[in-house]
Chains A and B, each alone.
Chain A
């Protein structure tokens, strides 16, 4: 097996890893403040990809007004729409569950997942539709010295990393971020200091969902867009979150990247295990470090 093949798979794995990182980051941010796990995170990712697809391929076909939303506008529009939907869900439904056991939040978002997935399965091909809107500027391949790599995939990796680390910087090193962390640490006390914690919760949920939508747009040109694309991904991301522990933002990002890499390399070494390797790693982590690699024992 040549070193080129391994490096190529490692990069492709990293490509999957940035999506894991973005989704687990969103889950961790939401979990920190709301104490719920958003099962619908996968559906939000799927929704992001569909907004890009519909904007590019179907708007004109459906309404015949010559309207076409390209990749770049989608990159801004989709996270806003998905984040807005998240805010709507938080304001109208999740808000009512905060006093109850946290499992109800998971169950509610599971129901929302079924609704979204079912709706899209009605109108779109379950086996996937390719997204043709990849911008020309990002087509072709780049020479990395040791191999040729598709330009778009490289762009997706770099762009996602920038988003992840900007989010980390924002939360850990800005004033607004410190207020957010205060809200995570002790909501009552933070509220007593005059900060609007309910508003912070709403915006955080919207932001987390928006991140998932953004990941969906970025994924659209790489994977085919399907109503089921989020559901299978979210379970892997859950395992990533269990492995990393949700104690730290950086932990969520790094474990996402690392596990994507491991998965990519497994595809070269022993392909049949590629779909389960992350789950087996989760078993190992549970056996030897139950709180997760970056987690704190509570």
Chain B
């Protein structure tokens, strides 16, 4: 019931947003929201903490930007190329990372993501510390000019809805049920005959792919793939978004992404204090607010 209300609310807010808010800012929110939803699929439902999701987000942004800018790909093909790259990368990272469990899993993903970060810094086409700049937005399907902010906005909104829908379907499928069983008790899931590693790997690949979709879209929106998108702090930020909104809830990551991104935006003029504030929110969330905004909301509505 609550999910339906929230979904209708999200739909209306998303449709009308460009008329009362700055479209580029809302597009940024949508990209981060999709990124956080993809991350939540992994941590919230499969119980796997990846500390390297920036590699998929940032990696896809660079690849999409490069094929559009240097090879003249149209925007949709560019975004898809970036997404496929994230999928392949996700398969490789996932294959390696699921060999270790729990806390090691987080460390392995973090270290692997650092390889992508250094590549983004050192490879000849990435523009080093300046990032990959001047990505043309181009024409969608050959006739819709993405230079028009409204057309661009609705394009991004549709991508977000597709990604969100995919994640929703995944969570509420038998596959999603098995993932949650693995999260609750891995040994038991194994003893029931589920190939735990295959389920984990598939969840990792889906999550990485959609994180890549979000990153590639962001690159087209800003016409720019920045080094920060591949930095470990971005991996930390997406964790924070998911945690603030509510781990393992459908809408939590969306709410969390909006909260954290809006906060960083508002506090932009305070320089490094943003980091201090985000760190403090992190500590407070972990200590006393582990359910997150949506999680608390669900608890209150259920009590009635």
Minimum C-beta distance from A114 to chain B (A): 3
Partner of B103 from A36, A96, A112, A113 at Cβ < 8 Å: A36
Taking A111-B279, A118-B279, A121-B272 as contacts, is the C-beta distance between A286 and B96 under 8 angstroms?
yes
User: Which residues from B are CB-within-8-Å of A239?
Assistant: 107, 111, 114
Query: How many residues belonging to B are interface residues under a CB distance threshold of 8 Å?
Result: 43
**Consensus secondary structure, chain B interface:** helix
Which chain A residues border B283 with CB–CB below 8 Å? 93, 108, 111-112, 115
Fill in one digit per residue for A64-100: 1 if any B CB lies within 8 Å of its CB, else 0.
0000000000000000000000000000010011001
Contact residues in A for B108 (Cβ distance below 8 Å): 242, 282, 286
CA A124 – CA B103 in complex, angstroms?
A: 32
- A243 nearest CB neighbor, chain B only: B111
| Chain A: CB-nearest residue to B275 | A118
- On chain A, the residues within 8 Å of B271 by CB distance are 121-122
Q: Give CA–CA (A100, B103) in the complex, Å.
A: 13
A115 touches B280 (CB 8 A): yes
Name B231-264 residues within 8 Å CB distance of A. 232-233, 236, 239, 243
Nearest-neighbor residue (CB-CB) of A104 within chain B = B286
The interface stretch among A159-167, A180-188, A208-216, A273-281 is A273-281
Which secondary structure dominates chain A's binding surface? helix
Choice from B100, B274, B286 contacting A118 with Cβ under 8 Å: B274
Asked if B276 contacts A279 (CB within 8 A), the reply is no
| A residues near B122, Cβ cutoff 8 Å | 272
The complex places the Cα of A54 from the Cα of B182 at a distance, in Å, of 49
Q: Is B77 an interface residue (CB 8 A)?
A: no
| Chain A: CB-nearest residue to B243 | A107
B202 surroundings in chain A (CB, below 8 A):
none
**Are the CB atoms of A287 and B96 closer together than 8 Å?**
yes
Provide the residues of chain B in CB contact with A102, threshold 8 Å. 102-103
Q: Are B286 and A108 in contact (CB under 8 A)?
A: yes
Docked pose: A239 CA to B49 CA in angstroms: 16
Task: Indicate if A149 sits at the interface (CB-CB under 8 A).
Answer: no
Q: How many residues of A contact B (CB 8 A)?
A: 44
Chain B residues closer than 8 Å to A287, beta-carbon distance: 96
Name the contact of A279 in the complex, choosing from B100, B114, B287 (C-beta under 8 A): B114
Task: Knowing A102-B102, A122-B271, A238-B110, say if A114 contacts B278 (CB, 8 Å).
Answer: yes
Residues of A within 8 A of B287 (CB): 93, 96-97, 108
User: Counting CB contacts under 8 A, is A37 at the interface?
Assistant: yes
A280 to B274, CA, bound (A): 33
**A276→B118 contact, CB < 8 A:** yes
Distance (whole angstroms) from the CB of A284 to the closest CB of chain B: 10
Q: B280-304 vs A: 1/0 string, CB under 8 Å? A: 1111011100100000000000000
B282 touches A110 (CB 8 A): yes
**Which residues of A have CB within 8 Å of B9?**
none
CB pair B276–A235 under 8 Å, yes or no, is no
Does B175 reach chain A (CB closer than 8 Å)? no
Residues in A262-298 with C-beta less than 8 Å from chain B: 272, 275-276, 279-280, 282-283, 286-287, 290
Given contacts A106-B49, A106-B103, A242-B108, 7 further A-B contacts (CB under 8 A): A106-B106, A108-B286, A111-B279, A235-B111, A235-B232, A286-B97, A286-B99
Interface residues of B (CB under 8 A from A): 47, 49, 51, 96-97, 99-100, 102-104, 106-108, 110-112, 114-115, 118-119, 122, 232-233, 236, 239, 243, 271-283, 285-287, 290
Show 12 A/B contacts (Cβ-Cβ < 8 Å), sorted by A. A103-B102, A106-B103, A107-B49, A107-B243, A110-B239, A111-B280, A121-B272, A122-B271, A239-B111, A272-B122, A286-B99, A290-B99
